[in-house]
Structure 1
Amino acid sequence: MHALKKGAEDMKRKYLLPLALVAVLASCSKKDGASETILNEDPSTFAEIGSIDIGEAGAAEISAYDPATKRLFVVNNGGVNKIDVLDMADPAKMSVIKSIAITGGAVNSLSIHDGKLAAAIEAADKQAAGKVTVYKTSDYSEIKTIATGALPDMVTFSPNGEYILTANEGEPNAAYNIDPIGSVSVISVNNDYSVVNVDFAGFAAQQEALMQKGLRIFGKNATFASDIEPEYITVSADSKTAWVTLQENNAIAKIDLTTKKATDIFPLGFKDYNAAGNAIDVSDKDDAVAFANWNIKGMYQPDAIAVLQSGNIPYLFTVNEGDVREYDGFKEADRIKNLTLDATAFPDAANLQKDPKLGRLNVTKTLGDVNGDGKYETLYSFGARSFSVWNGNTGALVFDSKNELEVKCNAAKYYDDNRSDDKGVEPEGIAIGQMGNKQVAFIGMERADAVAVYDVTNPAAPVFQQLLKCGDAPEGVLFVPAKNSPTGKSLLIISSEDDGVVKVYSAKTL
């Protein structure tokens, strides 16, 4: 009997205890009673699992996913302004099941929270007030339409769903004699969608000091408030703070959502292309992709922005696309070969201004001639051809990818040398999501037609994982976490505006 008892105990230890341990570990991997386990996915193994073409250029600019209905809502301005609804239950077999007609101007952006779809819609007259229309994702019925500032270019829900925010760019008209105030509309969902338009007029007294740090206020006859052009918004996890990129102004603004007031403007300064690791190709007429250091600077001018909290620091990730004011009544850009360079700063000007050298590079005429003698001592190009990480409390630069995006794209044969004289690969879109115990960033590059994947678990030291080919001119970069995904695995959804293609990617589990 003793031997039998000992054998039974051995069997129990060998089989039952490990099974109990597995059950405990499985239960620990669930959050707040959710049924989904946390997958340990490898961010270096994303591969395409589905694709759909929904139309011509302008047909797939921005997308938003609703986990309740397993539907993807996609901006489609490729002809008739509308929002296409895609069945995403099986990403390998996506199909358009509905189109929501839009009246007025074009849809610029979409965001979804708890069964509500918010669409940012510009007015037919882009200098007039725009609007946000909120729909039910279940039956597409309209819940509310709210007036915003001029040209709402981006919309987002706060994480808690209490606010809808729009970045109202307020672009001038072609003649540049009407320039609306740039603002951020803060819409209180639970207060009958009441709205407060936050502008930046209160910083006018600080204009000179801010410009010394790299803020740009340079429009034709513009006031401080009208010159500011909000581009893109991100909101803290606690829904108390928003940060908005001011692309043309080369800055990030900070907004307190409790008081609904702007509290800071962080000028971003300039990138030195003569520094180690910052080598770029500056010519589309040199018959080569030749990265080199040059005595020029780049304005960061970020488009999209995302926030990742680590400790007590909100880290702001920006994609530094660059943008140019080019209107009938005001044009800021010119090629270096057409400018007069200061002989002291550029003793080899005649050689530098040749097409295979710096001659073809587009720069702004609004900076660099400090003494106003018509000769440029410093040259400032558009964008920084990188993504950056900033301290959201102070605005200090924490990290810049330098020229890694362009080097990686060139190695993969994705680099477009025809864009070397302008803004290079043009990083434009970004999304950050959690995969297992890792934080992962996805960087969409408009001119390389590619997305770079980075492990950003340490926000101060992102690590490259892989490069994905996508459609033509990726605009929308969307991450769907595994807990919300129709497949039970994390998904990356890329929508591309120049060919109307939506692609879906998934990673392997470890």
Structure 2
Amino acid sequence: MQFPFIKSALALAIAVTATGAVASSLDKHDRAKSVHKKETYFERVSTFPVYQNLAPDENTTDATAAEISAASQDGKVVYYSNSPRGRIGMIDIADPAAPVAAGFLPLAGEPTSVAVTGDYLLVAVNTSSSYTTPGGVLSVYSIDNPLQPQWVADLDMGGQPDAIAISPDGRYAAVVIENERDEDFDDGLIPQQPAGYLKIITTKGKPSKWKVRQVELTGYAEIAPDDPEPEYVAISRLNIAAVSLQENNHLILVDLRRGMVINEFSAGSVDLFGVDTQENDVIEPLDNILNRRREPDSVAWLNDWWVVTANEGDYEDADGVEGGSRGFTIFSPFGHARYESGSSMEHDFIRIGHYPESRSENKGIEPESVTTGHYGKADYLFVGAERGNAVAVYKVAAFAKPKLHQILPSTIGPEGILTIPSRNLVVVSSEEDSADDGFRSTVSIYQYGAKAANYPEIMSDPKQLIPWSALSGMVADNHRANILYAVPDSYYAQSRIFKVKVAKNGPAIIKEALVLSKDGDTVDYDLEGIAQRSDGSFWLVSEGNGGSRPNLLIKTAADGTVMEEINLPDGVIDKQISNGFEGVAVTGSGENERVLVAFQREWKGDPENHVRIGVYNPSNNHWGFLYYPLDVAQEDAWVGLSELSAIDDHNFVVIERDNQQGDKAQLKRLYRFSIDGLTPAAEGGNFPVVSKTVVHDLLPDLKATGGWVLDKVEGTAITKKGEVYVVTDNDGVDDSSGETRFMHLGKLFR
């Protein structure tokens, strides 16, 4: 449907107001570039686990979530929707580096969104009895005291509410009434009645007197025009609401003052090049997807002129065609795609190890949330990837392409992004929660003002597209102090060795990936350790699973060709459990070469809290063993080894850690031990016990970036100059945040 006279008015009104704003923004951008040559960045300062906001009589393992958030006028209290618990949680962020649980508001339904206008907190509450009889209210609370909201009114929405937006001048609130489809009915195909619509609330006077109007959204989209399912809404300074119809692949602009649609257009489709579409345990961004519907989820205004969409996709039609273009788009208000990210955002996530290979056949990193904010003298665009578990931050100017500024790591399933420019803060709420798996829903807080981006700490070469993730072992080059080698574990097929270059400033860079081969074919090991031999070739260890996959010591050429696979003696194999080889180190050469292998946990018959250090002599194929004494694990946890590195011919360092993460983590340490004077015993003998000394507690390092403490500290490298590096395993972004810490600890050994 066309609105020529309205489009003319739209063009005139927006052009006069927004062109000035755009020009002003561009001028500011140019002035900022000329005066401030150094960039300013966002850095994470804290991560709040949502379960800490449970009542004293509730179980801390109960499922929680943080989905959409809003802040009080002074920016010191964050309100977030917690759908599983049917409540709004509150966090006191007066000190953003030390957020404090501030309780919650119980609701008579499911909260779907939350917003603040002036001294009022607005909560969209879904009270639907079924998909066919949707219902909901907009609950209004007075927040004269931000930490003690008081209910004042419920406004009937007539259907199932979803997103809320507040106009910049505070005159209007807009609520999309989605009336979502039943995905179990008719294969989830639309149309399914009743249709969705938009509610406009004029927030003048007492909330009980607020005027509520309804704007119909039917008749516009080409896909199911009689069943619009509005997903998200954003409002410009001109009081024009942009509404996304995700399943309908459409956008609608509504003049809130007049309560009428002034433009509408299809979100269109895009061709994607260089993406991974096969879930084959290998990240292979080699495929093309043509004519993929964008299907925008969240929407935001940029400079009050451009409409930005996060193209998550949420619909598969009767022909099996799926939407979601794995990126974001910037539209003019007339429907012209001014900028399309294409595959670039996903490529950026691949480079930092955040690509979820298990979602390749679906929608990749799934950009879901988008918002904008003005910080310092620049405008920024924030795009959250629900499956990539991070927020991409772009620096934007009026007539220039968005430029990737940095990527902020989150926990699992970032759902909402809240900007608080008045306090130089950004708040990201992540909804995924599983106490049994060790990860929890969180609210992460980032502060603007850092002089450098502190994430990623390791990435692949910006000039190449080298996929990587799940780093599980590491070693330094024998001769070059700035070169390391790392290996991934069995999360991925086609085992490989990554060549890493480190520098004094900036992230470590993965420069090359050597794919291992045996007899001309790729191999699939569970690599957990790597050591470099004196001639530049490597020893690797592959962890067994206690059954079909054996524990192997593997010798490879410098180019990754497998030269030999070495098994343990039969008597030792009989005692194996699933936690096997976990690190390897080598000393000497020729007849004096010795290979040490760390076992992660006790095997059958081993004394409690004692694990094996295997010592292999390549010259005669002889295995001997020592015992390493583990620290005692806390309740409901275990402790084991996860790396072994040589300091010299007699002294070694291990990573000893528990299997806990977040605020449950207690033990992540580097220990040193010596084998000087000890003779490894053959199987059946009395294994000497090494003595250990604490070298470094890694917990402070893991907590230093304000994030969720990671579980798997997996790799250590000691350079020829004595510099120590430690890396964590991100589990391939599967039930994991995907964050990788690459920590430079300096010189720990003389």
TM-score, normalised relative to structure 1? 0.72
Q: In 2 relative to 1, CA 494–42 (structure 1 residues): closer, same or farther, beyond 3 Å?
A: farther
Paired residue for 1:462?
Answer: 402
Which residue identity lines up with residue 257 of structure 2 in the other structure?
T
Q: Deviations over 1:26-82 (max 9, x none)?
A: xxxxxxxxxxxxx9797762221011101365511111111337111111123x211
- Structure with greater strand percent: 2
- Distance in 2, matches of 1:237 and 1:389, equals 18
Q: CA shift at 1:149, angstroms? A: 3.9
Paired residue for 2:691?
Answer: none
Q: In 2 relative to 1, CA 89–255 (structure 1 residues): closer, same or farther, beyond 3 Å?
A: same
1:415 aligns with 2:415: no
- Structure with greater helix percent: 1
Q: CA shift at 1:465, angstroms? A: 0.9
Q: In 2 relative to 1, CA 496–114 (structure 1 residues): closer, same or farther, beyond 3 Å?
A: same
- Distance in 2, matches of 1:425 and 1:57, equals 24
Paired residue for 2:102?
Answer: 97
Paired residue for 1:59?
Answer: 65
Which residue among 285, 290, 293 is the counterpart of 1:296? 290
Q: Deviations over 1:440-493 (max 9, x none)?
A: 011110001011010012355100011111010000111110x3x2xxxx1111
Which residue identity lines up with residue 332 of structure 2 in the other structure?
N
- Distance in 1, matches of 2:450 and 2:274, equals 36
Which residue among 413, 426, 429 is the counterpart of 2:366? 426
Q: Deviations over 1:308-338 (max 9, x none)?
A: 236xxx10011000002xxxxxxxx4xxxxx
Higher RCO structure (Cα 8 Å, ≥6 apart): 1
Q: Deviations over 1:137-193 (max 9, x none)?
A: 223111221111422110111111111111111123444696212101101111621
Report how many aligned residue pairs link the two structures.
387
SS state at 2:445 partner: strand
Q: CA shift at 1:381, angstroms? A: 3.1
Q: In 2 relative to 1, CA 263–438 (structure 1 residues): closer, same or farther, beyond 3 Å?
A: same
Paired residue for 1:262?
Answer: 261
Residue pair 1:131, 1:148 contacting (<8 A) in 2 also: yes
- Distance in 2, matches of 1:397 and 1:67, equals 34
SS state at 1:424 partner: coil
Residue pair 1:42, 1:509 contacting (<8 A) in 2 also: no
Q: In 2 relative to 1, CA 43–234 (structure 1 residues): closer, same or farther, beyond 3 Å?
A: farther
Q: CA shift at 1:303, angstroms? A: 0.7
Which residue among 297, 300, 305 is the counterpart of 2:299? 305
Paired residue for 1:365?
Answer: 318
Q: Deviations over 1:359-412 (max 9, x none)?
A: xxxxx4347xxxxxxxxxxxx4320100110001x1110001111111111111
Q: In 2 relative to 1, CA 387–186 (structure 1 residues): closer, same or farther, beyond 3 Å?
A: same
Paired residue for 2:487?
Answer: none
Q: Deviations over 1:210-260 (max 9, x none)?
A: 63xxxx22xxxxxx33x1000000111132x11100000001011111221
Structure 1, unmatched stretches of 5+, are 1-38, 218-223, 325-332, 334-363, 368-379
Map 1:137-176 to 2 at 5 A.
Answer: 137=143, 138=145, 139-173=148-182, 174-175=184-185
- Distance in 1, matches of 2:89 and 2:37, equals 30
- Distance in 2, matches of 1:307 and 1:426, equals 20
Q: CA shift at 1:124, angstroms? A: 3.6
Paired residue for 1:249?
Answer: 248
SS state at 2:348 partner: helix
SS state at 2:303 partner: strand
Paired residue for 1:280?
Answer: 275
1:501 aligns with 2:442: yes
Q: In 2 relative to 1, CA 409–292 (structure 1 residues): closer, same or farther, beyond 3 Å?
A: same
Paired residue for 1:88?
Answer: 93
1:453 aligns with 2:420: no
Which residue identity lines up with residue 237 of structure 2 in the other structure?
A
Map 1:34-49 to 2 at 5 A.
Answer: 45-49=41-45
- Distance in 2, matches of 1:413 and 1:123, equals 40
Paired residue for 1:230?
Answer: 230
CA RMSD between the two structures:
2.2
SS state at 1:142 partner: strand
SS state at 1:410 partner: helix
Q: In 2 relative to 1, CA 42–164 (structure 1 residues): closer, same or farther, beyond 3 Å?
A: farther
Residue pair 1:449, 1:469 contacting (<8 A) in 2 also: yes
- Distance in 1, matches of 2:214 and 2:399, equals 32
Q: In 2 relative to 1, CA 41–153 (structure 1 residues): closer, same or farther, beyond 3 Å?
A: farther
Paired residue for 2:114?
Answer: 110
1:321 aligns with 2:309: no
Q: Which moved more, 1:432-441 or 1:147-156?
A: 147-156
Q: Deviations over 1:4-46 (max 9, x none)?
A: xxxxxxxxxxxxxxxxxxxxxxxxxxxxxxxxxxx97977622
- Distance in 1, matches of 2:375 and 2:193, equals 43
Q: Deviations over 1:272-308 (max 9, x none)?
A: 23xxxx32111112x3211224253211011111102
Q: CA shift at 1:134, angstroms? A: 1.0
- Distance in 2, matches of 1:249 and 1:92, equals 41
- Distance in 2, matches of 1:109 and 1:43, equals 34
Residue pair 1:41, 1:509 contacting (<8 A) in 2 also: no
Q: In 2 relative to 1, CA 119–388 (structure 1 residues): closer, same or farther, beyond 3 Å?
A: same
- Distance in 1, matches of 2:427 and 2:366, equals 19
Paired residue for 1:343?
Answer: none
Paired residue for 1:339?
Answer: none
Structure 2, unmatched stretches of 5+, are 1-34, 52-61, 434-440, 452-750
Residue pair 2:68, 2:114 contacting (<8 A) in 1 also: yes
Paired residue for 2:331?
Answer: 390
Paired residue for 1:492?
Answer: 426
- Distance in 2, matches of 1:155 and 1:40, equals 36
Residue pair 2:326, 2:343 contacting (<8 A) in 1 also: yes
